[in-house]
Amino acid sequence: MSNRPNEDRVGARRRKARLRDERITLVHGAGGKATHNLIEALFLEELANPLLEPLGDAALIEAGGTKLAFTTDAHVVQPLFFPGGDIGSLAVNGTVNDIAVSGARPLVLSAAFVLEEGLPVADLRRIVASMAEAAREANVVVAAGDTKVVERGRGDGLTVTTSGVGLMDERVALGDEKVRPGDKVLVSGTLGDHGMAVMIARGNLELEVEIESDSASVFPLAESLFALGDDLRWLRDPTRGGLATTLNELTEACGLCVLLEEKALPVREQVAAACEILGLDPLYVANEGKLIAVVAPDRAEDALALLRAHPLGAEAAIVGEVEPEPKGLVLLQTAFGGSRVVDMLAGDPLPRIC
């Protein structure tokens, strides 16, 4: 199938992107509109090439007849340790997940550590051990790496950058151009767990709720859906900006609409309560162990059964449908019978969560 429609959309997107800011702020790292403007009007403008321009979770490359997925990710989460994980396991899972939702089996990772002078060695050992455990669980190895040390006060403790390579699964060819009106939208579990776990772990909100990050490899879930073949249209892991921002990326790319059902959205009671106190919407809160799937309408129940057959997908749900109009929008059918537009994240409510 020709990629020309995608190229046309990319060209239009690049013409619209404008970076008017003179300095970088935290909002540029939130995963919403400011992040997209930064990526499209600066990085994509300067580094444009056919591998980068789709702006997927991984670049799809071919070498010697072998199709691979390649991705990279930087991790700046604060605090370094949080309920359900730490920066080490998060780095592995985040990179593995970007490969998995691209339709590939993760194979190997690399890891680069920027250490701040004064970081306790015991903390570093704990983080690296956690990374090793997460890699074993995801059936990957950290095959290469690098270490740098910066002066005290200039490194925020620790940052980790990971890259990964995966082998494309021949059963699927995912892409926003595959999405059709009538397709169903599924999520593999509850929304917002990771972002709220990290926010509460910072200790300055005085909220007495227990929430654990969902940080985990979603490859077992993705692999189960690969059996759907061409009926699996599109996958993504809703990290920064949450479900809402990720689906806005989809509707912008495919020129269709997604209609979500509020009553169908799985959100833990503790997460919903914490979000309500903080004035946040769980739709915009980051996840690190969930995926979104768009599948053909007559295979939606099959997809749901495949997800629920795995412990990580026990709370999977069909949450919406792709509609032809209004183009480029995400709408939410509320519990009261009305509907509202769910726009891309515009502010920076949850900085430094991944």
What does the pLDDT look like over 299-322, one tens digit per residue?
999 999 999 999 999 999 999 999
Assigned CATH topology for domain 56-170: 60s Ribosomal Protein L30; Chain: A; (3.30.1330)
Handedness of CA 32, 80, 133, 266 (dihedral sign): negative
Q: What is the pLDDT of residues 113-169, one digit of tens each?
A: 999 999 999 999 999 999 999 999 999 999 999 999 999 999 889 999 999 999 999
Q: Give the whole-angstrom CA distance, residue 96 versus residue 94.
A: 6
SS3 111: strand
Tell me which of 27-41, 89-103, 322-336 is least confident: 27-41
β-pair type (141-150, 59-63):
unpaired
Q: Which amino acid is at 143?
A: A
- Classify domain 176-341 at the CATH class level: alpha beta
Q: Which residues contact 224 (CB under 8 A, 6 or more apart)?
A: 306, 307, 309, 310, 313
Q: What pLDDT does 317 receive?
A: 98
- For the chain, helix, strand, coil in percent to 5 are 35, 25, 40
Identify the CA nearest to 209 among candidates 287, 267, 271: 271
Domain ranges of the chain: 1-52, 56-170, 176-341
Cα–chain center distance at 221: 14
Q: How confident is the model at residue 16 (pLDDT cuts 50, 70, 90)?
A: low
Residue 6 reports pLDDT greater than 60: no
**For residues 276-301, b (16+ Cβ closer than 10 Å) or e, as one string?**
eeeebbbbbbbbbbbbbbbbbeebbe
> Of 112, 106, 108, nearest to 223 (Cα)?
106
- Render pLDDT for 95-118 as a digit per residue (tens, 0 to 9): 999 999 999 999 999 999 999 999
Confidence of residue 86 (pLDDT cuts 50, 70, 90): very high
> What does each C-alpha distance from 290 to 7, 155, 176, 267, 311 come to in angstroms?
29, 30, 19, 12, 12
pLDDT at residue 347, as a whole number = 66
The Cα–Cα gap between 217 and 263 comes to 27
Do 288 and 224 meet the contact criterion of CB atoms below 8 Å apart?
Answer: no
Phi, psi of 132 (to 5 degrees): -65, -40
Instruction: Annotate 207-273 with DSSP letters as a single string.
Output: ------------HHHHHHHHTTGGGEEEEE---TTHHHHHHHHHHHHHS-EEEEEGGG----HHHHH
Q: Considering only CA atoms, which of 239, 105, 250 is closest in space to residue 178?
A: 250
Mean pLDDT of the chain: 92
What is the model's pLDDT at position 354?
Answer: 87
Three-state SS at 338: coil
pLDDT of 1: 30
